[in-house]
Structure 1
Amino acid sequence: MNVQQASFRDLGAENTGEQFIDRSSFPKRIAATAAAAAADAEDVDRGARFPQKAIDTARTERLLGVQIPKAFGGDGASIFDITDMCYALGRACSSTAMIFAMHQTKIACLVRHGTGSAWHEALMRRVASEQMLLASSTTEGQNGGNIRYSSAAVERAGAEISLVRNATVISYGAQADGIVTIARRDDDAAGSDQVLLAITKDDYSLTKSVEWETLGMRGTCSAGFELKFKGNSDQIFPEGYDKIHAQTMTPVAHLCWSSAWAGIAAASVERAQAFIRKAARGAGGQMPPGAAHFNAARMTLAKLRAIITANLDAYAAHEHDERALSSIDFQSSINLLKVEASELAVETVMSAMRACGLAGYRNDGDFSVGRLLRDVLSSPIMINNDRILSNIATTSLMSSVPTSLRD
């Protein structure tokens, strides 16, 4: 594997049977966005500020609406296209990659579960034409990362609805043009009886309650807010959140996040490779002590890319099979992807740091890995791995053990 490689799939043209999707422009458009992100990455991290230049470039390149179907003004990009883009942006700027990944996860929910709803189809057209940036509000109060339980409930008054939510984290909430959020169906509903809402900036207000001063991923600007919304019941997705969560929210989020983390890992391996080459040239061809750590970084990166690709193939194969997506085996696998990918990404960057030695530990110089390490350390605690493993422990016992390599 070449660490310079920037994608999981070759991009070309595809006839989906409904629309002809021309992917030929995707590499150039994402390369322009990645270049803007890379040029600003250090300053974004230093100032813990939103990567405005990168997102503005994504708008100019019409990437924020790239996943919207062609019928609604987008490009009809597939999950393979989107994860390739997350990977490319991860190599350039971690915060930009994570913002893009979260936005595209919301878009996937809109496309899959909003088609057929006049309000949501109109929003898709707006995303495509205005290049709206959508944020996510799934955590609240003391629930932490338990997004299958909501405290706040939708209040109803005829066709009008309202919501007040103590959102402990809304990544880039202040910069977004809209938010996709969850809530209890109504006052009498159980915490797990949830609905998904798409709300736009003219419908809600945000009052900051928690600042964002963190070790890494500083440019995601993931502050906490009190969210107050008033709108129309048409803004509620027609399908229950339990279905959206299993079929789209979880798999797309984990695939996009993992791809962004893999991009961060690839950037660290690239720096380690450059360091080892320079050191070897300076020593007359003799490998420096860190060469073994570079090889370890390459191996873990290869493993990381392989598990992402395997899960991409599995999701794509069953993308429209509701029963398969809701199965114990698929849900366990896609949740374990998040755990494994985050751990491997951290391991890869740590090995790259050791390969570079002091040059990687420094915050200045061409071989610095510090920012990449700080950013990737967010991955095991973003929806905490321990929570995921605890949640799937019981269901995993019900899943059969494969009897052959091809099962």
Structure 2
Amino acid sequence: MEHAISGAEARQMPLDSDPSRDDRDLRARAEAVAAVAAKHADAVDRAARFPDEALAAMREQRLLGIMLPAALGGEGATLSEIVDICYRLGQACSSAAMIYAMHQACVACVLRHAHDSAWHETFLRRIAAEQMLLASSTTEGQAGGNVRSSAAPVERTAAGIQLDRAATVVSYGEQADAIITTARRSAVSAASDQVLVSFLKSDCVLKPTSGWDTLGMRGTCSSGFNLLATGSADQVLPEPYETIHKYSMVPVSHLAWAGVWAGIAAGAVERARAFVRRAARQNNGTLPPGAPHFTTATGSLQSLRGLIATSVRSFEQNADNPRVLASMDFQAKLNLTKVQASELAVGIVLDAMRACGLSGYRNDSDVSVGRHLRDVLSSPIMINNDRIMTNLATTALLTAVPPFLSE
């Protein structure tokens, strides 16, 4: 092959931008997708349908493979750029933005941990060339949101491998071109001894087991399925999922999701801004009673953006440093970023609604933030904040409090 993926190179490639690429062009492409997504956002929400138009626009603008390096047909986009796109799409259509964020987390996991796998190199090239959409399957059966536990094992067969998995949630599973799933390494392995496997759509049979009639994020179509997949042993990523989880899945997912939630919050703030301005014009410059909530929302949005930017910068600076990435302190900070970002985003949208008063509460108003609120309320329960905080409490018990501020 003309280019084999080494471990160190794969970990660093997402952070190496193509110097020939114009960042303004990337922003313009993201804006074009956002415009399409915004046009259909209400219809997607009402019908709880997949945002087909937004995905078509992503493919047209070739945004699905931009994280891949130029050697694999991509553009070497940084995580900062990916999070920026998630933010812009979040302002337009929460479901489309979340689908994009989850796809990019899958791409990062495969790219950073494929190493010298010839099968996965071909797979990555196809993602860029064909603009394939990747979905993840990490929740299963009674384990629920405990993504570090798998029940279904990878079974070795005469033809290769097989996986029969009770996947309680597979976001946009029916629309995806491939599914990246966790699994127990073997039938005799512990539940925590996991691998990550890439299955093409043609490898999978999805039997629906539950629907997706939810308060918000309705367009992600996160139904439950029984997943029966077959393939070759080469489709199992060479590194254990424990490593992938720490180095890629947690940081990229949490930071991309945070970008989406911040985008939802920003969209709500813009509606509040429009309401306050209009009310002031109609009342000879007198601000409406909810104006203080607009001020609070604006300040909180600045804090949220700063929190995410700092966390993304920290990850990018340490992305090729396994010792730092695996440390309890770094993992705790990433998890706290997820918790803080989700809680802040919910508060911002609530403040935006209160700034708009009844107009923001109504579904038939041009400044309605009802959809924004319903969508952002998913953020504390995507990898439940209570679960994260309980786990962090255990970690905190093992960590001594520094005696001085300078340490």
Q: Distance in 2 between matches of 1:16 and 1:90?
A: 23
What pairs with 1:326-341 in structure 2 (closer than 5 Å)? 326-341=326-341
SS at 2:189 equivalent: coil
**Superposed displacement of residue 302, structure 1:** 1.3
Change (3 A) 1:211 1:281: same
Instruction: Kindly indicate whether the alpha-carbon contact (under 8 Å) linking 1:64 and 1:131 is maintained by their aligned counterparts in 2.
Output: yes
Match of 1:200 in 2: 200
Instruction: Pick closer, same or farther for the CA change 1:387–1:247 going to 2, 3 Å.
Output: same
The 1:18/1:84 distance shift into structure 2, 3 A limit, reads: closer
SS at match of 1:168: strand
1:240 shift after superposition: 0.4
From the superposition, tell whether residues 118 and 296 of structure 1 become closer, same or farther in structure 2 (CA, over 3 Å).
same
Matched, 1:20 2:16: no
Task: Please say if residues 80 and 312 of structure 2, whose CA atoms lie closer than 8 Å, have aligned partners that are also in contact.
Answer: yes
- The C-alpha deviation readout for 1:329-360, integer Å capped at 9, x for no partner, is 10000011111111000000000000000000
Structure with the higher helix share, 1 or 2: 2
Cα distance, 1:21 vs. partner? 5.1
C-alpha separation in 2, matches of 1:33 and 1:66: 14
Q: Answer yes or no: is 1:133 the counterpart of 2:133.
A: yes
Q: Deviations over 1:216-255 (max 9, x none)?
A: 0000000000000011000000100000000000000000
Q: Secondary structure at the match of 1:106?
A: helix
1:9 is matched with which residue?
none
CA-to-aligned-CA distance 1:83-106 (integer Å, 9 cap, x gap):
000000000000000000000000
Give the letter for the 2:222 counterpart: S
> Tell me, what secondary structure is at the counterpart of 1:139?
coil
Report whether the alignment pairs 1:179 with 2:164: no
Confirm or deny: 8 A CA contact 1:339 1:385 kept in the other structure: yes
Change (3 A) 1:110 1:61: same
Aligned runs of 1:74-113 on 2, under 5 Å?
Answer: 74-113=74-113
Structure 1 SS opposite 2:187: coil
With normalisation by structure 2, the TM-score equals 0.94
Structure 2 letter corresponding to 1:170: V
Q: CA deviation at 1:400?
A: 4.5
Q: Please tell me whether the aligned partners of residues 59 and 131 of structure 1 are also in contact (alpha carbons under 8 angstroms).
A: yes
Post-superposition shift, 1:310?
1.1
- Structure 1 letter corresponding to 2:303: K
| Counterpart position of 2:284 | 284
- Matched residue count: 394
Question: Quick one: distance in 1 between partners of 2:384 and 2:37?
Answer: 27
Aligned with 1:136: secondary structure?
strand
**Equivalent residue letter for 1:173:** G
Distance 1:39 1:26 in 2: 20
Does structure 2 retain, via aligned residues, the 8 Å contact 1:258–1:341?
Answer: yes
Deviation at 1:366, TM superposition (A): 1.4
Amino acid at match of 1:310: T
Partner AA of 1:302 in structure 2:
Q
Question: Which amino acid in 1 is paired with 2:129?
Answer: S
Partners in 2 of 1:236 and 1:159 — Cα distance? 15
Q: Secondary structure at the match of 2:379?
A: coil
Q: Say whether the 8 Å CA contact 1:185–1:195 is kept in structure 2.
A: yes
The one-character-per-residue Cα deviations of 1:279-335 (angstroms, maximum 9, x if unpaired) are 011110111100010011112111111111111111011000001000011000001
CA contact (8 A) 2:212 2:222 kept: yes
- CA distance in 2 between counterparts of 1:208 and 1:345 reads 32
3-state SS of 2:207 partner: strand
SS at structure 2 position matched to 1:74? coil
What stretches of structure 1 of length at least 5 have no aligned partner? 1-13
Q: 1: distance between equivalents of 2:91 and 2:186?
A: 43
Report if aligned partners of 1:159, 1:233 keep a CA contact under 8 Å in 2. no
Identify if the C-alpha distance between structure 1 residues 388 and 225 changes in structure 2 by more than 3 Å, giving closer, same or farther.
Answer: same
Partner of 1:170: 170
Q: For 1:376 and 1:296, locate their aligned partners in 2 and report how far apart those are by CA, in whole Å.
A: 17
Shift of 1:392: 1.5
How has the CA–CA distance of structure 1 residues 210 and 406 changed in structure 2, closer, same or farther, with 3 Å as cutoff? farther
Residue matched to 2:42:
42
DSSP 3-state at the match of 1:229: strand
Residues 16 and 69 in structure 2, CA contact (< 8 A), matched pair in contact too: no
Q: Is the 8 A contact 1:293 1:354 kept in 2?
A: yes
Unmatched runs of 5 consecutive residues or more in structure 2: 1-12
**RMSD (CA atoms):** 1.6
Q: How many angstroms apart in 1 are the aligned matches of 2:180 and 2:374?
A: 28
Show the 5 A alignment for 1:214-363: 214-363=214-363
Call closer, same or farther: CA 1:326–1:23 in 2, change over 3 Å.
farther
- SS, match of residue 367 in structure 2: coil
Match of 2:161 in 1: 161
In structure 2, give the amino acid aligned to 1:372. H
Which has the higher mean CA deviation after the structures are superposed, 297-306 or 367-376?
297-306
The alignment partner of 2:197 has SS state of strand
Q: Helix, strand or coil for the counterpart of 1:367?
A: coil
Inter-partner Cα distance in structure 2 for 1:296 and 1:89: 23
Deviation string 1:18-51 (CA, Å, 9 cap, x unpaired) is 9535143201110110000000000000000000
8 Å CA contact 2:160, 2:233 repeated in 1:
yes
Q: Say if 1:178 and 1:200, in contact at 8 Å, map to a contact too.
A: yes
